[in-house]
Amino acid sequence: MTTRVTFASRSSRVGMTLCAIGFVILAAAPAWGGRGDLQLLAQIYAYVALASLWNLLAGYAGLVSVGQQAYVGLGAYLLFAFGIFGDVPLLAAIPLAGIVAAVVAVPVADLVFRLRGHYFAIGTWIVAEVFRLTASQVSVLGGGSGTSLPASLIIAIAPTRQLRDFIEYWVALALAVAVLLLIVLLLRSRYGLALKAIRDSELAAICNGVDVRRTKILVYIVTAGATAMIGAFIFLQRLRISPDAAFSVNDWTAFVIFITVIGGIGRIEGPIVGTIVFFALRQTLADLGTIYLLMLGAVAIVIMLAAPKGIWGVVVARLNWQIFPLERRVVAEGAPQRPTS
C-alpha cells in the first residue's frame, strides 16, 4: 500500500474554487460598484490583512503583541517621507516602506524578545508609544499635528480621480491577497510546521529540534514589514497623517484583536470571518459611538470565555470545513482520509 501527503481536502477544493470566483468578482468591482463601495471594500481588505498578520503573530507564533500600530504608523510615515523628500512615486513607496520597517524590526525584536509572555505584550506597546512620540517631534512632517500628501504626488498616480480610485482599490485587493498568500505559503513551508508545533506545545517543539526563538523572530520581522505596507496604503488612501491617527492603539490593535478573536484565532479563515462580522456590525451600529466599542469589547470577552476558538473554530468543530489547503493529510490508497496535523 502506498501513502502520500497532501494538503487538500474536499472542502478546501470547494473553498479554493469559491475563493477564485470571489476574487474575480471582487477584482471586477470597479465595473459594478460606486466610489463609496470601493472605498469600503478597500478598508475591509486592509483590515483582513492586518488581522491576518496579527493572527500569524499571536495565533501561530504565540507572540501576543498590542503594539502592531508601531508598524502601521511607521509604514505610513515612511510613505509620506519617501514621497515628500525623496520624490518616490507613492505606489513604489509602499513596498519600500515595508522593507525599511522590516529592517527597523530587527533591533526592536532583539529588545522586546527580552520580555516574556505577558510582558512582551506591554513591551511592544511601549515601542509603539516611542514611535508615536518620536513622530510628533519630527517637525518637517508636521510634528504633533501631522501633514498632508502634496497634490502633485497624488496626481502622479493617475491623472483622473476615477482612475486613481480604481488603482487604489486594486492595490488594496492585491495587498490583502498577497498577505493571505504569504501566510499560506509560510504555513505550508517547514517554518509553518515549526509554527504549528510551537502553537500546540512550545516544549514539545523544542524537544523536536525546532529553533523556537529564531522562528518567532522571523515571524515578527516578516509581520512588521507586511503590516507597514498595509499602514502605508491606509494613509495613502487617507491623504493625511498625524501621529495620533497613525499610531492609534484603538484603530490598529484593539479592532484587529477583536476581529481575530471573534472570527477565530489560530486559523487563517478566522480574521476573514471576523472582519466581515466587524464591518457588518459597524455599518449597523456605528451611530452608537462609544457604546459600539463597549459592546465589541464585551463580545470579545464573552467569546474568549465561552468559545475561545471563535466563530470559525465552532464551524470547524461542527463541520470540519477548511477553505485553505493547509492541513497535512496522509492519504493511503484505498483507505479513508484522516487529518494528521
Partner 1 sequence: MTDWINVILQGVLVGGLYAMFAAGLSLIFGVMRLVNIAHGDLIVLAAYLALVATQTLGIGPLVSLLIVVPLMAAIGYALQRLILNRTLGEDLLPPLLVTFGLSVIIQNGLLALFTADDRKLDAGALEVATVRLVEGVYVGLLPLLQFAVAVAVIAALQFVFYRTALGRAFRATADSPDVAQLMGLDNRHVFALAMALSLAVVAIAGVFLAIRADFDPSIGPARLIFGFEAVIIGGLGSLWGTFAGGLVLGVAQAIGAHINPGWQILAGHVAFLVILAIRPEGLFTKGRA
Task: Work out how close the CB of 303 gets to partner 1 at its nearest, in angstroms, rounded to a whole number.
Answer: 9
Of 103 and 111, which has the nearer Cβ to partner 1? 111
Task: Work out how close the CB of 119 gets to partner 1 at its nearest, in angstroms, rounded to a whole number.
Answer: 6
Task: Work out how close the CB of 314 gets to partner 1 at its nearest, in angstroms, rounded to a whole number.
Answer: 17
Of 84 and 138, which has the nearer Cβ to partner 1? 138
Instruction: Collapse the DSSP code of 339 into the 3-class scheme (helix H, G, I; strand E, B; otherwise coil) and give the result.
Output: strand
Of 36 and 107, which has the nearer Cβ to partner 1? 107
Of 7 and 113, which has the nearer Cβ to partner 1? 113
- Cα separation, 220 vs 105, in Å, equals 8
Q: How many other CB atoms are there within 10 angstroms of residue 149's CB atom?
A: 18
For 240, residues 6+ apart whose C-beta sits below 8 A from its C-beta are 146, 147, 148, 149
Q: Which segments of the chain does DSSP mark as H helices, in order?
A: 10-27, 29-32, 35-55, 69-86, 90-112, 117-135, 151-157, 161-188, 190-200, 202-207, 212-238, 243-246, 249, 255-263, 269-285, 290-306, 310-319
- Cα separation, 105 vs 336, in Å, equals 46
Find the helix or strand (DSSP H, E) in which 3 lies: strand 3-6
- Cα separation, 203 vs 75, in Å, equals 35
Beta bridge partners of 338: 330
Of 80 and 125, which has the nearer Cβ to partner 1? 125
Read out DSSP for 223-250? Answer: HHHHHHHHHHHHHHHH-EE-HHHHT-HI
DSSP tag of 334: T
Task: Work out how close the CB of 125 gets to partner 1 at its nearest, in angstroms, rounded to a whole number.
Answer: 7
Of 294 and 335, which has the nearer Cβ to partner 1? 294
Judge whether 162 and 269 are in contact, CB under 8 Å. Answer: no
- Cα separation, 157 vs 91, in Å, equals 7
Of 158 and 299, which has the nearer Cβ to partner 1? 299
Of 127 and 172, which has the nearer Cβ to partner 1? 127
Task: Work out how close the CB of 206 gets to partner 1 at its nearest, in angstroms, rounded to a whole number.
Answer: 15
- Cα separation, 85 vs 38, in Å, equals 30
Task: Work out how close the CB of 53 gets to partner 1 at its nearest, in angstroms, rounded to a whole number.
Answer: 16
- Which residues bind to partner 1, rule: CB under 8 A? 58, 62, 64, 66, 111, 114-119, 121-123, 125-127, 129-130, 133-134, 136-137, 249-250, 254, 257-258, 261, 265, 290-291, 293-294, 296-298, 300-301, 304-305, 308
